[in-house]
A = this chain, B = another copy of it.
Amino acid sequence: MSDSLSAFNTHIGRICDLNHSAALLEWDQETYMPEGSAASRARQISTLREMSHELLTSDHTGELLGKLESHGLAPGSVEADHVRVVRKDYQRATKIPATLIARLAETAALSRRAWMQARSQNEFHIFAPHLTKIIDLCREKAESLGYKTEIYDPLLDEFEPGMATAHIRSIFEHLRERLVPIVQQFASETAPNDAFLHAHFPRDKQWEFGLDVVKDFGYDMNTGRQDYSAHPFSTTFSISDVRITTRIDENFFNPGFFGTLHESGHGMYEQGISPELERTLLADGTSLGMHESQSRLWENLIGRSAEFWSHYFPKAQTTFPGALSGIDEDEFYRGVNKVSPSLIRVEADELTYNLHIMLRFELESALLEDTIKVVDLPAAWNDRMETYIGIRPETDSDGVLQDIHWSLGAFGYFPTYTLGNLISTQLYNQAAKDIPDLAGQIGEGSFTELREWLRLNIHKHGRRKSAKEIINETTNSKLVIESWIHYIEKKYEKVYGR
C-alpha cells in the first residue's frame, strides 16, 4: 500500500504544482506583466490548466484511487480524507466531456467580449444570444454531472460542495422576508454623513495603513505579500505563499482599506491550513461560502465594528490629518457603515448586499429551469430591484449587465456571497462565546485569540471537513439566518443612533 500511496502523492503533487504555477502566472498577469504579452500568457495558463486536467482525469488517477480505496485507509486519516476528496474531484472532472469543456471555454470567450460591448453600449440584445448559448451549455454540464432533484444542484456543488438548492431557496426566502422591511425602514431615515470618506487619502499612506492593520490581524508577511492590481484578489501558490492584492482610490477611503481587510481574510484562511496538507488537493478552502465568511468577518464584523475603530480611529486621524481632522470616532464609525440602497452590487452596503444576491440567484435558477426567458430578463431584473431594494435601474448597464459571472458561465456562484455573510456571523457569535473578552481584545487591537480560534476551528482543516460539518461542529447548529439578522438589527440601530 505504501507504494500506491507514494505514487498517489507524487501524482496529485504534480497536479497541485501545475495548479499553483498557473495561479502564479495569473497573479503576474494582473500585477507586473508587460502589456505586450497578453496572448502568450493566456496560452501558457491554458497549457498548465489543461495538463493539470489531463493528469486528474487520467486512468492513472482512477487506478490509484481504486487501489487505495480497496486497501481501506484508516477512516479520518489525512490519507483517507485525501482519497475521498480526490475521488470526488475525479468523478466530477471525468463526467464532463472534454468537448463540452472546450465548447464552454470557446463560448465563454466570445460571450465575455459580447458582454463587455453590451455593457459599454447599454445594449442587452448584443449579449442575449450569447447568454442563451451559455445557459444551454450550463444545462448540458448539469446533465453530464447528473442530479436528483434540481438542475441547479450540480452547478452550485462546484462552488459550495454539499449544499442543496432547496436549502438555499429556503434560507433566502426567510432572509428576504426579514430583510426587505429592515432595508425600507433605514432607507427612510436620515443617512449618516460620510462626505469625509470622499476626501483626499494619499496612496502611500493608505497602503501602509491597511497593511499595518492586516499584519495586526495576523496576515503573515513571511508567507504572504501585497501588490497592486486593478481588481483586488487573493491567491495561493502554497500554504507558505498566499498573496493579496489591493487597489487604491486616492479620493475615497473605503475601497482600498476594506478591500485589503477583505482579501486578508481570504489570505489568512489559506495561510492557516495545516502544513501537513501541503501539496494535496485538501489544501484549499472547503467552499466559496466558507471562504467568503472569512473575508467578510475581517472586513465587516471586525473592520466595521465600533470596537475596532475605538482602537484604530486615532491612528487613522494621525495618518490622514487632511481628511479626518474635525471628525470624531463615532462619526467615522457611522460613516463607514452608511446604508444607501444602490443599483450596483459591488458598491452595495452590508445591509442591502444580500438582496442583490437573492435577485441573481432567483433569476439564474429560473433561467436554467427555463421558467424565465433571456428576452424577459432585463424587465425581471428591474422589477425585482424595485421590490427588494426600492430603486429601478434606468439602464441595463446598471442592471442586468453589471456582473461578468454569467458571461463566463459561472452559474451557481452568486449564492456563496450571501452564504459567506451568514456563516461569518454565525461563526463570529460562537467565537464571542468561546472568547468572553473578544470585544475588549478587538478594542485593544489584539486579534491573536480570534485568529487562533478561526485557525483551529476552520482554517487548519482545509477540505477535510465540509462547510456544513464545520458549521455544525463549531456552532452546534445548522446554518441559520438569525445570527446575521440579529447582528444587522443591532448594528444599524447603533449606526442610526437609536
Q: Any chain B CB within 8 A of the CB of A222? A: yes
Q: Which residues of A contact B (CB under 8 A)?
A: 13-14, 17-18, 20-22, 24-25, 28, 32-37, 39-41, 43-44, 47-48, 51, 220-225, 227, 237-241, 243, 278-279
Q: Can you give 21 contacting A-B residue pairs, CB < 8 Å? A: A17-B47, A17-B48, A18-B47, A18-B51, A21-B44, A21-B48, A24-B24, A24-B25, A32-B227, A34-B222, A34-B224, A34-B240, A36-B222, A36-B240, A37-B240, A40-B237, A40-B238, A40-B279, A41-B237, A43-B279, A51-B51
Complex CA–CA separation, A241 to B37 (angstroms): 6
A225 near B34: Cβ-Cβ < 8 Å: yes
List chain B residues, Cβ under 8 A from A51.
14, 18, 51
Measured CB to CB, the closest approach of chain B to A246, in angstroms, equals 15
Complex CA–CA separation, A37 to B32 (angstroms): 20
B24 near A240: Cβ-Cβ < 8 Å: no
List chain B residues, Cβ under 8 A from A241.
33-34, 36-37, 40-41
Complex CA–CA separation, A356 to B226 (angstroms): 43
CB closest chain-B residue, reference A55: B51
List chain B residues, Cβ under 8 A from A32.
32, 225, 227
Measured CB to CB, the closest approach of chain B to A358, in angstroms, equals 39
Measured CB to CB, the closest approach of chain B to A205, in angstroms, equals 19
Pick the residue among B21, B37, B222 that contacts A223 (CB under 8 A): B37
List chain B residues, Cβ under 8 A from A225.
32, 34
In order of increasing CB-CB distance, the 4 nearest A-B pairs are A40-B238, A37-B241, A17-B47, A36-B223
List chain B residues, Cβ under 8 A from A41.
237-238, 241
Complex CA–CA separation, A241 to B39 (angstroms): 11
CB closest chain-B residue, reference A43: B17
Measured CB to CB, the closest approach of chain B to A268, in angstroms, equals 14
CB closest chain-B residue, reference A20: B44
List chain B residues, Cβ under 8 A from A240.
34, 36-37, 39-40
List chain B residues, Cβ under 8 A from A43.
13, 17, 279
A47 near B238: Cβ-Cβ < 8 Å: no
CB closest chain-B residue, reference A10: B47
